[in-house]
Amino acid sequence: MSGLKYSKDHEWVRVEGDIGTVGISDYAQEQLGDVVYVELPEVGKTVVQNEEAAVVESVKAASEVYAPVSGEVVEVNQALEDDPALVNGEPTGAGWFLKLRLSAPGELDGLMDEAAYADYVGGLGDD
Amino acid sequence: MSDAAGTDALARTPLFVEHRALGATLVGFAGYAMPVRYGPGIMAEHTHTRTAAGLFDVSHMGQVRLTGDGAAQALERLVPGDIAGLAPWAMRYTQFTNEDGGILDDLLVTRSDDGLILVVNAACKDSDIAHLERRLDAGVDMTVLSERGLIALQGPKAAAVLERHAPGCAGLGFMTAGWFTADGADALITRSGYTGEDGFEISLAADKTAAFWRRLMAEPEVEPVGLGARDSLRLEAGLCLYGHDIDETTTPVQAGLAWSIGKRRRQEGGFPGAPRIQHELAEGPRRRRVGVLPDGRAPAREGTAVLDAKDNVIGEVTSGGFGPTAGGPVAMGYVAAEAAEVGRPVSLLVRGKPRPATIVKLPFVPHNYHRG
């Protein structure tokens, strides 16, 4: 599970070639609780870093999922339509949201690696 | 993580320490630090309540006692419910109304051996108490029972569990009450609740509440349930949440609560807003609370516009989310009276996109109250 880069909004991206797979972190799914619905963008849509790319809904509330990097949506995870709970069970695996063709790979440099993200999340409880 | 939400400045119920020990996620609710969920999460807590027994801390709600000869008559001047006709140990759901027939709060009234016991919403209790102080006759004494805790045990196994600790309580009929000895503590127990399931609310001294909670927690059928599942349970049961489905702008008739206004009160009036409420009873209200069932999987939240076939706005969702027992999204809200027929197709404007839905009869999940 190495190679994930995280945003401060708790999304992750895993890059292979010029394609980045995007999802939400284990911390984020834990905070949300039971995921009951995921709204995914159309394939072909262009998303911009830190802007809304998808919506995830728990029993209680709807939350935006922001694109950790900019790019064009080339695939979405259809499995979430029938089984949104995959986001809770395997947030960084089968619970991925979408794949992007990166338009600005330099944005990756501004994201956190696993260790930095773990520190970041660890500090959130002390606010 | 429990302290991260800044709950330190909030009031605590007698069960605060229990919630923390159980790993609850605490949030601020009506000025109290309350559990929104425990370890297993809202879905599991909801399902457990529908299949076994869920334990709820509702100590944040206001408990008030009215005594004095004219207490029932005095209260009837503030609510449309039939209080004078309440038999000993019977209880009734009613509302404090304003002069326009709007709802100031909804409440339960129990006739006990020492007067009327009112249970009111936490967020409204200060204003309710001020309202009672202003409007009650001099001969009626009001006591705010702030030194009492309140626990709800809800679900099909609630009666069997509670009978072990408070012998005799399983003999209570739905919406009746009595004093029982609950593991040595005096407890006013009512067969009521707000989940659509059979169940009880147990009022006992604040300093006895945590010990009794722990004894119930030790029962194999019992799991703790937070405010998150309390909300999804009452939504599936079609029950109103004050501040969302009912408020000062909605009347009991619009809200589908006319059943709680007895025949004598309809005829005689004598409560705030009676002319308007009587007019709505006779002529029908301009809008009605209805169930709205989204066709797809996307939940429609509070504030979602309800549209007709021509995309005109005909109403608004006041509570909406996911119903774990219903197995999909469920919502309720108000629509224009002429559109309020069961089976009518409508759409819900979710994130700018109209999505098909149907007006349905409430509740979404059949009530499972005790019919003994």
Tell me the percentage of chain A whose pLDDT exceeds 70. Answer: 96
Report how far Cα B221 is from the mean position of its chain's Cα atoms: 23
d(CA B372, CA A38): 44
Q: Is the pLDDT of residue B288 over 50?
A: yes
Kindly tell me if the per-residue pLDDT of A126 is higher than 90: no
How much is the pLDDT for A127?
43
Using an 8 Å Cβ cutoff, are A13 and A25 in contact?
Answer: no
* CB spacing of A33 vs B1 below 8 angstroms: no
Asked if pLDDT for residue B2 goes beyond 90, the answer is no
Nearest by CB to A36, from B1, B36, B299: name it.
Answer: B299
Q: Which residue, B48, B47, B26, B29, is CA-closest to B37? A: B26
3-state SS assignment for residue A89: helix
Total residues found in chain B within this entry: 372
Best A29, A30, A60, A80 member to test B by mutation, with max B CBs in 10 Å, is: A60
Interface mutation target, options A59, A65, A82, A87, chain B, most CBs of B under 10 Å: A59
ipTM of the complex: 0.89
**Sheet containing B91-97: order of strands:** B91-97, B103-112, B115-120, B62-67, B141-144
Confidence of residue A37 (pLDDT cuts 50, 70, 90): very high
pLDDT tens per residue, range B147-195 = 999 999 999 999 999 999 999 999 999 999 999 999 999 999 999 999 9
Average pLDDT over residues A57-77: 96
Q: What per-residue confidence (pLDDT) applies to B7?
A: 76
Query: Which residue in the set B3, B228, B297 is minimally distant from A60, CB to CB?
Result: B228
Distance of residue B230 Cα from the nearest chain A Cα, in angstroms: 11
Is residue B136 classed as helix, strand or coil in its secondary structure?
coil
Strands A35-39 and A19-24: unpaired
Q: Using 50, 70 and 90 to split pLDDT, how confident is the model at A102?
A: very high
* Token couple for B17: 């320490």
Task: Tell whether the model's pLDDT for residue B136 goes beyond 70.
Answer: yes
DSSP B10-27: SB--TTHHHHHHTT-EEE
Q: How far apart are CA B88 and CA B172, in angstroms?
A: 13
What is the pLDDT at residue B40? 87
Between A1-10, B75-84, B124-133, B220-229, the lowest mean confidence (pLDDT) is in A1-10
Confidence check: pLDDT of B66 > 80: yes
Work out the pLDDT band at A2, boundaries 50, 70, 90. Answer: low
List chain A residues with CB under 8 Å of B41.
Answer: 33-34
* Helix (H) or strand (E) run with residue A118 in it: helix A114-124
Q: Which of B234, B322, B349 best probes binding to A when mutated, by most A CB atoms within 10 angstroms?
A: B322
List, in sequence order, every residue forming a beta bridge with B57; answer none if it has no partner: B151
Tokens of B178: 């009595």
pLDDT band at B372 (very low <50, low <70, confident <90, very high): confident
The verdict on a CB contact (< 8 Å) between A59 and B301 is no
Strands (DSSP E) found in chain B: 25-29, 32-37, 53-57, 62-67, 91-97, 103-112, 115-120, 141-144, 148-154, 177-182, 185-190, 199-205, 222-224, 287-294, 305-307, 313-323, 328-336, 345-350, 353-360
Mean pLDDT score of chain A? 95
Q: What is the DSSP string of B147-187?
A: TEEEEEEESTTHHHHHHHHSTTGGGPPTTBEEEEEETTEEE
pLDDT confidence of residue B1: 38
B322 to A73, B26, B236, B319, B359: CA distances (angstroms) = 28, 21, 9, 10, 16
Tell me, rounded to whole angstroms, the distance of Cα A84 from its chain centroid.
14
Q: Which pLDDT does position A60 carry in this prediction?
A: 86
Contact between chains at A59 and B42 (C-beta distance less than 8 A): yes
Phi, psi of B206 (to 5 degrees): -55, -40
